[in-house]
Structure formats: C-alpha cells, structure tokens
Chains A and B, each alone.
Chain A
Amino acid sequence: MADVQIARALPLAGMVHGGAEVTVSAAPAAYRISLRAGGPAVAALSKALGVTLPKKPGTSASAGSRHALWLGPDEWFVFDETADPAADCAKSKAAHSAVDISHRNTAILVSGPAAADVINAGCPRELSLEAFPVGACSRTVMGKIEIVLYRTGAEDFRVECWRSFSDYAFAFLADAARGL
C-alpha cells in the first residue's frame, strides 16, 4: 500500500526556478506522517521511530533520512524520503495517532543567500539565524496559505504545503524570487 502511495505523481515534479540569489525547486517524494501522542507514549514512539521526538517548541530532530518536527505540545510532523515512519509507529504499542499524509503535503526547497527574503515575501516570521536557527521549524502562514517551514541550513528552507496549494506556493515563491 505504501509503495503504491509513494509512486503517485508529485504535483510539482521537476519544477525549478533558478536564480543567482535563490533557487526554488520541488522536493523529492517523501513519506510523511502527522503524529499525535501524549506524554507517556513519546519515549516509546521515539524508540520505534529511531529519532527522539523533540519536546522543545519550534525545534526538530533528525536521524539519517528521518526528520521529526515539533508542531504542537502533542503533535509532530515526521518525514522520511526512504522509509515509512507510519510502519515504524505501528510497531509501537503506545497510544498514538499516526496519519499518513505523504500525499496531502508536498514540499518546496528554497535555497540560496536570499532564501529567507523570498519566504519573507509572504511569511511574517522573523527568519534571522538568531530567531529561526538551523533545525527550527514551525507551522505558519505564507501568502494566503498555511505552511510548515523547516530550516535545513543557514540558507536552505523546506516549505511544506498542502498538495492542492502547491501551485500557488510555488508561483508565489518563484514570483518573489523574480523580484530580487
């Protein structure tokens, strides 16, 4: 089932908007889950997933290809480009909810010296390295849509948005990049 899901066409497959200051491109396919779990289950799920679920607001944890992003006090967004985290969660007996959202979301990678400026064209968050360091993540807004923003490097961001909004998100970012 999971293999069938990940074989589905990506909405932005192959799209790239390049420039000297910033590159906006579609991210490769990934498994994604929306994970909800209460206090006692977190340790068991961290073990099952192989990555320690962060408890500090706005932070993330990574292990290999797997990334766990804190979204709320009992909510994490986990994505992995090689293995299905939902299957690993299913091995745990701890009470939790892991919903496969691999194809609800799609991701856009924004990289380059002006990456933060391009995202700030529609996102009101402060994206200086002090306020939003590498590894920081957050659900927030960009233009007219909700996104999950994840800083993967000093000049690299991953913008997760809903599949049906991905055309808008990509066009928004590409347009902002054009205005530099």
Chain B
Amino acid sequence: MLLIHCPYCEEERPELEFRHAGEAHIARPADIASISDEDFAQYFFYRDNPKGLTFERWRHIHGCARFFNAVRDTVSDKFVTTYKTGEPKPDLAEAANENKPQAKKGRGSK
C-alpha cells in the first residue's frame, strides 16, 4: 500500500485515509466579480495536466481531515514531498533530484 506523509499528523499513513483534492496553488482572484469571463474560465475550469511532477492538494479525510499540498510524480505515482497548506512551493529542482531512479525508496513518500 502506498504510504503518504501527512504534514499535520507528522507520520506516514496508508493511502486509504486520503482523498485527492485537485491542483494546488490556484489563487482565487481578489475581485472575482470584475474579471472577464475568459479570466474566470482560466481560474475556474482550466487545469494543468503535466506528465511528471505536479503540485496537488490532498486531504487526509480519514485522519486529521486537513488539506495539505503534495508534489507527486504523475508517471511513477511517487509522492516527492508533502507540505502544509499556505507554505510556499518547495524547490522543484531539489525535488526532482530526490526523484531520480537511484533514489527509489520502498515507501510512497519522503
């Protein structure tokens, strides 16, 4: 079973306790009534669908119930890192290095 590190519970927990919650770091426009339909569509509907490292929100719904952010590789399904909501994006270069094949670990996250 994939183990995911919850930054609030501070330990690795089974994937069954988690739910995916969409792309992370999408800021709601400050004045949403004044933006154009196109800008609203970009904010509301359009999402990246990268092959490789992606920033996602996850929710530890059957644990502490908190949302947090995770960097996951969409190819290998490896969780590169997880961090609390509100914290800045981690350095991707560093994350990518950690994710090199020789750094492969038995656990789902590190």
Contact = CB atoms under 8 A, between A and B. Distances in A.
Interface of A: 57-58, 71-73, 75, 124-125, 138-141, 146
B65 A75 contact: yes
B1 A72 contact: no
Contacts of B14: 124-125, 140-141
A56 B16 CA distance: 23
A170 B64 CA distance: 24
B11 interface: yes
Interface residues of B, number: 14
Contact of B62 (A57, A75, A146): A146
Nearest to B10: A57
B9 A58 contact: yes
A72 B16 contact: no
A138 B9 CA distance: 9
A139 B14 CA distance: 12
B65 A124 contact: no
Interface of B: 1, 8-11, 13-14, 16-17, 62-66
A72 B62 contact: no
A139 B66 CA distance: 12
A73 B8 contact: yes
B83 to A, nearest CB: 14
Contact of A141 (B9, B10, B11, B16): B16
A146 B62 CA distance: 6
A73 B85 CA distance: 13
A124 B63 contact: no
Contacts of A125: 13-14
A140 B10 contact: no
Given A57-B8, A73-B66, A75-B65, 4 more contacts: A72-B65, A139-B62, A139-B63, A141-B14
B11 A57 contact: yes
Contact of A72 (B10, B11, B13, B64): B64
Contacts of A58: 9, 11
Contact of A57 (B1, B9, B17, B65): B9
B63 to A, nearest CB: 6
Given A124-B1, A124-B16, A140 B11 contact: no
Contact of B64 (A73, A141, A146): A73
